Chain A
Amino acid sequence: MEALLNQAFLTSLLFGAVTAGVPLLLAGLGEQISEKAGVLNIGIEGMMLFGAYTGFVAAYYSGSFSLGFVAGGIGGALVASLVVLLCIRYGLNQIVIGIAITLGIEGLTALLHYFQFSRTYPRLDQAPVWALPFLSDIPVLGRALFSHNPIVYLAVVLMIALVWVFRATYVGLNLEAAGNKPAALDAAGVSVVKTRAFAVLATGFLSGVGGAYMANVGAGLFVPFMTGGAGFIGIVLAMLARGKPVWVLLGAALFGISLAMTTALQVGGINIPTDVVQMLPFAMVMLVLVIFARHSVLPPALGLPYVRGER
């Protein structure tokens, strides 16, 4: 048991928590934007996975991690544009389309990967790390929290930026209105379709970047189905956060730790079956849902397509 508490273990646990938590943070923030605007974006899992694939391919051939993240974001947004077309423009059922997109992308990325790399799984080099001056010198925490890929810090900055966007900009106002009373937004002369389209594309971009991070930084390679439900955890985070970005960060940290535990416990040589350990994050999802789900507040117009003149 002592092994659990030594410095090296704690550092690696927290470092792993950040690595596992950042994609969840990006997905959760992205989903929060969609939900604010009244779109239940179930396809986010597919967007992440596609972002992971395009991000990996771009980084693999160009050797540039930044390019990889951009490509991941664009890949995610590309999938999101399907949701825009089918759900926002034509008002089809968001849940059905979302599930179809996720399943479709799982197959598509596996297929593309097979065509390109056959059964090999080429690896990328170690991702660049930007150790924050001074902060990274703190014992335990410094190594664990402040020497990561720049995208990690960007994700936290994004969280703070979203707080501001939601509270102090027209974009935030429009998103809130689109989710709460789309007819009011329409009457105010703002297109509900465009507002929601913007929100969904933003979700696609962010979750795509999150997927690219998973592949390029977290794993260093692309494996089919590698997101393994991270997008769905993002949906859970967004629902529990009640429109507050800070709560997405806290939730992502919680799930990040429990995901990191699965590896840390195995490394730490704790004698419990790996299957039980790997179950931990998902048991956590259920536990959190049981405890907090009653408090989740969703926008009234969530999941409902907007048709002018219908109430």
Chain B
Amino acid sequence: MAVPVAAVRNVTKRFPGVVANDGVSLEFHAGEIHVLLGENGAGKSTLIGLLAGMQQPDGGEIVIDGQPVNIASPRASLELGIGTVFQHVLLVPSLSVIENLMLGGPWRRKLLRGPALARFRELSQLLGVEIDPDAQVGRLSLGEQQQVEIMRALWRGEKVLILDEPTSMLTPQGVKDLGAVMRRLREKGVALILITHKLVEAYELGDRISVLRLGRVVGALPPERLRAMSEQEATDAVIEMMFGTVTHHERDAEILVGRGRQAYRARVVDRTRAPRLSVRGLTTEATRGACPLRTVDFDLWPGEVLGIAGVDGNGQKHLAEVLAGQRVAASGTIILDGKDITADAVPERRRHGVRYVTDERVGEGTVGSFSVATNLVLKEIGASPFFRRGISDWDYIHDHARALIKRNDVRTPSEKTPVGKLSGGNIQKVLLARELNAEASVVVFNKPTYGLDLQNTRLAHERILAGADQGLATIVISTDLDELLEIADRIGVMFQGHLAGIVENGPDVERKVGLLMTGAKAA
């Protein structure tokens, strides 16, 4: 077997209180896509950080072309021919494509566009993409921005390309394009490292799969074995590595492979009755950095889960806020149970049973430095029974908190712990406990599982479905289409501030939603 282009040998990295990588050994070969799988906290990102020069290992060695190397900085990593595309876009939005690519050049010199453009064309051809080098990066679509990032990663050498969850922000078409780019690069002899949560992707794109768990490599499928396996066999094998042979994690596995989506949720929503929520011609004023609503119309019935899909930044945030009462509608009406609530502010809407679970869990949803107990009454400050004549009744608030913590299984040392100290999953539980505690009739979720691991994703989904089964009218805004396929009854798509269309969840829904996401009319 050929010498690997890059390898980590027995690498260990400790952070205060955790061993993020514990004796990890992996090999990356030219012309091969090596998929790393694992849950949040499995140590994938740490490993990438080591290869990208963001951190240095505490033990073990990194080997490039057979030579042990010390990657002391991001520059050193780039100079070794290792390029990384991180999960979040790392481009300067105010600069042009070519300027972004030239960033990091020899600073004493004048900017030379000529050679840069030549390299740009070379890489465009390699990737098989067409982008205007003078376009401002902030105006490109996320898919195009990612292509620019791949170019930047390959700019100073195309030996190793690391992609950290590259598909999470893309449209279905964008995912397809990315797959084509990756296959092209593989043919050209680049060693690709793909980090993903999705097993389907891993099987479709990967030549070799390694599974990490709690900082260790717990299993691997080398190319010879992987090629001989069907998708079913491969995913079964990986699931076994990730969770062990005990299969009480079946639902995790289902989420992971998206197998649940074959069995569309057979929920019956009675749409003969009057809808609980009717939204007509809703628009908002444009604000800086956020897409306003242009026209939004929909009806929502009790017990129904309406998924709102779309690429981030197409008006989802405004939609959530205007439904919650946090943002003023410029025109249009919101009717709840036959009553016009358009002009009502947050407290009135809350009294009418409107609940909002924001995507900004800390900051908008909770105050990080306040205790769990205070955060649980955050929307009832000054109201009885928690406050009497404006004075907080701490005993009552703490009792209330303890009950909710118990009922919602929030893992917190005590009700007095600052909420910012909890994990993302537990902060989400605090939010759910507060928003869903009583007399809710309409709930708006904005990216309810963003950044959560499988375990907490599953819990959140169960919570949402349980609420709907009890008759809650539910709106789930998410950029993860698989999630919506999993839990929604109907899926609407936001495109440039319009609710472009609503389709029933069922066979062929992915294609229809994908079309709507790119601005095409409903098929």
Flag if B110 contacts A176 (CB, 8 Å).
Answer: no
Decide if the interface of chain B is mainly helix, strand, loop or mixed.
Answer: loop
Q: Which residue of A lies closest to B152 (CB)?
A: A188
Contact mask for chain B residues 62-95; partner A; CB cutoff 8 A; 1 contact, 0 none: 0000000000011111110000101010111111
The segment from B96-104, B462-470, B480-488 found at the interface with A is B96-104
A188 to B100, CA, bound (A): 9
Contact of B103 among A169, A173, A191, A308 (CB under 8 A): A173
Q: Which residues of the partner chain A approach B95 to less than 8 Å between Cβ atoms?
A: 173, 176-177, 180
User: How many residue pairs at the A-B interface have CB separations less than 8 Å?
Assistant: 78
A191 to B88, CA, bound (A): 19
Q: Count chain A CB atoms within 10 A of each CB in B75, B79, B86, B104 and give the residue with the most.
A: B104
Minimum CB–CB distance from B363 to chain A (whole Å) comes to: 13
Q: Does B111 contact A (CB under 8 A)?
A: yes
Q: Which residues of the partner chain A approach B78 to less than 8 Å between Cβ atoms?
A: 188-189
Flag if A170 contacts B111 (CB, 8 Å).
Answer: yes
Q: Which residues of the partner chain A approach B75 to less than 8 Å between Cβ atoms?
A: 189-190
Q: Which residue of B lies closest to A198 (CB)?
A: B107
Q: Does B362 contact A (CB under 8 A)?
A: no
Instruction: Known contacts A177-B95, A181-B93; decide if A187 and B107 are in contact (CB<8 Å).
Output: no
A173 to B110, CA, bound (A): 11
Q: Does B388 contact A (CB under 8 A)?
A: no
Q: Does B389 contact A (CB under 8 A)?
A: no
Minimum CB–CB distance from B178 to chain A (whole Å) comes to: 19
> Could you tell me how many residues of chain A have their Cβ less than 8 Å away from some Cβ of chain B?
23
Q: Which residues of the partner chain B approach A174 to less than 8 Å between Cβ atoms?
A: 103-104, 107
Q: Does B105 contact A (CB under 8 A)?
A: yes
Flag if A183 contacts B93 (CB, 8 Å).
Answer: no
Flag if B90 contacts A184 (CB, 8 Å).
Answer: yes
Minimum CB–CB distance from A167 to chain B (whole Å) comes to: 9
Instruction: Known contacts A189-B78, A308-B54; decide if A184 and B106 are in contact (CB<8 Å).
Output: no
Minimum CB–CB distance from B46 to chain A (whole Å) comes to: 11
A174 to B107, CA, bound (A): 8
Q: Does A119 contact B (CB under 8 A)?
A: no
8 Å CB contacts to A: which residues of B209-251?
none
A198 to B92, CA, bound (A): 20
Instruction: Known contacts A168-B110, A170-B106; decide if A189 and B73 are in contact (CB<8 Å).
Output: yes
Minimum CB–CB distance from B47 to chain A (whole Å) comes to: 14
8 Å CB contacts to A: which residues of B438-490?
none
Q: Does B109 contact A (CB under 8 A)?
A: yes
A170 to B109, CA, bound (A): 7
Flag if B88 contacts A188 (CB, 8 Å).
Answer: no
Minimum CB–CB distance from A36 to chain B (whole Å) comes to: 11
Contact of A187 among B90, B94, B108, B109 (CB under 8 A): B90
Contact mask for chain A residues 282-311; partner B; CB cutoff 8 A; 1 contact, 0 none: 000000000000000000000000001101
Q: Which residues of the partner chain A approach B104 to less than 8 Å between Cβ atoms?
A: 174, 185, 188-190
Flag if A309 contacts B90 (CB, 8 Å).
Answer: no
Minimum CB–CB distance from B212 to chain A (whole Å) comes to: 19
Contact of B74 among A168, A169, A186 (CB under 8 A): A186
12 of the cross-chain contacts (CB-CB < 8 Å) are A169-B107, A169-B110, A173-B103, A174-B107, A177-B92, A180-B93, A181-B91, A183-B88, A183-B90, A187-B84, A187-B90, A190-B103
Going nearest first, the 8 A-B pairs with the smallest beta carbon separation are A189-B75, A188-B104, A170-B107, A188-B103, A184-B90, A189-B104, A181-B92, A187-B90
